[in-house]
Structure 1
Amino acid sequence: MFKAMDLKPLPRPEHPDPYTVLDRRFVYDSPWIRIREDRFRHRRGAEGRYAVCGFRRTACGVLALDDQDRVVLVGQWRYPLELYSWELPEGGGDTSESPYEAMRRELAEEAGLSAQIWEPLCFFHPSNSSTEEEAFLFLATGLAPLEGHHPEDDEELLLHREPFADCLRRVLSGEITDSLTVMALLALQARRSGVPAELDAALAERFFQRPSEHPSAGRARWESLT
């Protein structure tokens, strides 16, 4: 969650979880995602089933800014959407690497760049009604080219640098729609507009820790099934 000097925590019920889980079962498993179905009873009496999608990798992205205030964008075809998308360098971090380690690798592989300064920018849950996925977004500056970078065998990428202000306009026009890209651009704009907020210190540490060092409650629910 975000923290500011004059902000109190938002209110929450004394007992916020209304569900009693009756059983859980695996439906699908792969190196990237896993799906389970939970059978539950709600404290108001309803019973039902809840399908949950779990991501084995950590969603990470980096808003890389050059010295002309241009954003490094990657263009690629997004298979589920059947659409071409311009977005930040992004990737899924392995369980053996921190979001920071993952994004250093992805920035090098996708854009052929390194960065001198890395800052945690934003943390969020992309789709909390159906998945426990977490997203870690960085701001990177002090860019420098790297030699010999190569995309993965299943990637065809274009690179483009777009002025930051124009990226914001493309978000508001609906041209840029990738969630990590939208969140990173709006978070930086909020910072530049003087919003007095910063990441909670414990949360900021997670950007530089491996998932095993900070298991989330959502991911921990899978342990009884594996």
Structure 2
Amino acid sequence: MDLTPLPSPEHPNPYTTTERRPIYDSPWIRVREDRFRHRRGAEGRYAVCGFHRTACGVLALDEADRVVLVGQWRYPLELYSWEIPEGGGEPHESPFEAVRRELAEEAGLQARVWEPLCFFHPSNSSTEEESFLFLATGLSTAEGHHPEDDEELVLHREPFGQCLQRVLSGEITDSLTAMALLALQARRGGVAAALDPALAERFFQRPDEHPSAGRSRWQNLGAP
């Protein structure tokens, strides 16, 4: 079913930015502080976290409809987490190239069939991070790939329905995993919509070929 776009105000951006100041930069994240005036009169500061890499994940299903899960310790949460294979795409990689690499490195697998599944912003109040999720089937062993030196991973295959239950019970909390599972469940339930062609292209293009407005801002911090 074709959807008409949701309504948008005539002038949607209420902020006037007067200054942008970089605060921190690392190979993974960067932080800046913006000063702003809101059209309703408020003035303040807005801290924005940016990501050098693109968040990519793959819902890999085997012939028994089991989900390939990766278990690992998540340092910021101080918790062990079960997730789909995922990672950060380098600037020179398309999301598709990045997620194929992650599936091979983390799970030792390759897939015969790949489909874009979902695109979303995981935390849009504080970061411009973008997430690209794929569905992969026709799995087979990928030789010669290993996790990185700072990764200690455990593999497990779980029936799709049980994975959904674990998301809804709060046992699986990773946002990419939850979105991928719920997106596929919606598709299987008859909720289907084609990706916008411009967005669909971005699944197979490098980030600099289709930069978002939020991520482009980091290239020109001096301009308000």
CA distance in 2, matches of 1:18, 1:25: 20
Report SS of the residue matched to 1:11.
Answer: coil
Match of 2:62 in 1: 66
Report SS of the residue matched to 1:221.
Answer: helix
Q: How many angstroms does 1:225 deviate by?
A: 3.1
Match of 1:77 in 2: 73
Match of 1:21 in 2: 17
CA distance in 1, matches of 2:143, 2:215: 37
Match of 2:128 in 1: 132
CA distance in 2, matches of 1:65, 1:225: 42
Report SS of the residue matched to 2:27.
Answer: coil
Residue 49 (structure 2) aligned to one of 34, 53, 61: 53
Match of 1:143 in 2: 139
Match of 2:98 in 1: 102
Instruction: Give, as a single letter, the amino acid of the residue that structure 1 aligns with 2:154.
Output: L
Structure 1 segments, 4+ long, off by >2 Å, are none
Q: How many angstroms does 1:107 deviate by?
A: 0.4
Report SS of the residue matched to 1:167.
Answer: helix
Q: How many angstroms does 1:197 deviate by?
A: 1.4
The answer for unaligned runs of 5 or more in structure 1 is: none
Q: How many angstroms does 1:148 deviate by?
A: 2.7
- What does the per-residue CA deviation read over 1:54-93, in whole Å, with 9 as the maximum and x for residues that have no partner? 0000000000000100000000000000000000000100
Name whichever of 95-104 and 144-153 sits farther off. Answer: 144-153
- Counting aligned pairs with the same residue, the percent is 82
- What does the per-residue CA deviation read over 1:187-218, in whole Å, with 9 as the maximum and x for residues that have no partner? 00000000131211111110000001001000
Indicate the RMSD between aligned Cα atoms, in angstroms. 0.9
Report SS of the residue matched to 2:67.
Answer: strand
* Equivalent residues, number: 222
Report SS of the residue matched to 2:129.
Answer: coil
CA distance in 2, matches of 1:13, 1:98: 33
Q: How many angstroms does 1:10 deviate by?
A: 0.7
Instruction: Give, as a single letter, the amino acid of the residue that structure 2 aligns with 1:134.
Output: E
Report SS of the residue matched to 1:74.
Answer: strand
CA distance in 2, matches of 1:78, 1:223: 30
Are 1:179 and 2:175 matched, yes or no? yes
CA distance in 2, matches of 1:151, 1:129: 32
CA distance in 2, matches of 1:186, 1:102: 22
Match of 1:155 in 2: 151
Residue 204 (structure 1) aligned to one of 193, 200, 209: 200
CA distance in 2, matches of 1:171, 1:75: 15
Match of 2:88 in 1: 92
Q: How many angstroms does 1:150 deviate by?
A: 1.2
The answer for unaligned runs of 5 or more in structure 2 is: none
What's the TM-score once normalised by structure 1's chain length?
A: 0.97
CA distance in 2, matches of 1:51, 1:44: 20
